Amino acid sequence: MEPTGYELDGKVAIVTGGGTGIGKATALLLARYGADIVIAGRTESVLRDTSAEIESATGRKCLAVPTDAHEEEQVQRMVARTMEAFGRVDILSNNVGWGDSATLSQVDYEAWRFEFTRNVDPAFFCTKAVGPHMREQGSGAIVHNSSVAGVDGVAGMTPYSVSKAALVMFTRVAAAEWGQYGIRINAVAPGLITTENAMVTYDANNIDPDVMCANRPLRRAGTAHDVAKAICFLASDAASYITGETIEVSGGPVVGGQGG
């Protein structure tokens, strides 16, 4: 049978934020396609449980490396541990980030800077850390997790929107610089996704995610698996001629006018 491009046998993938949510769904799907996995996150017990689940479900190796991706030294140690265990790194899926509501009038400099520390620094540190290994291999795929807030903007979430927009431009410029080494760099921009952490917030505020997405063409909130499928596509050879792009995973665009 002719290869589809999705096969990842012999590949090694690092997934940050890999213990829960989009990161966990991505790690599981990458393993189902044949990759061995390194999951990184701050909570060792969660990583350990997820690692065991992935190995049991897929038969692939899944190494759990407790890591705070906001700390450059910890990221470098995590990548070094990956090289010790597997000898290569082919895929990096950056999933660390979060956001708080804050308008331009409300936000102070400390909160402004914190959003960049939380959403941009981990992707920067991880990309820089895997870069030498991917350049030496002459291949690699990196996928950042941005947000529709970074593409379209969200009023009332000014610093979050701007920090996620920075990831979009980081994706584009890094792809332009590293394409010569056979490294592809893309991003996904999820919309409203019903991860475990997000649902805690929605439930606490009596928010129905599907109602919030009623104006989207698909008329439902997204799942972590929806986003994971897009990440795995961009990480695979099925996307071999795509780089520097940001793909929205949001249930479709909201446009004016009438339809029928």
The residues annotated with a catalytic role in the active site are 147, 160, 164
Per DSSP, 157 falls in state B
Structure tokens at 123: 């992707």
With b for 16 or more beta-carbon neighbours within 10 A and e for fewer, the 97-110 pattern comes to: bebeebeeeebeee
Give the CA distances from residue 122 to residues 17, 40, 86, in Å, rounded to whole numbers and listed in that order: 10, 11, 22
Give the CA distances from residue 181 to residues 35, 81, 135, 240, in Å, rounded to whole numbers and listed in that order: 22, 23, 5, 13
- Indicate the length of the chain as a whole number: 260
Measured distance CA(4)–CA(164) in Å, rounded: 32
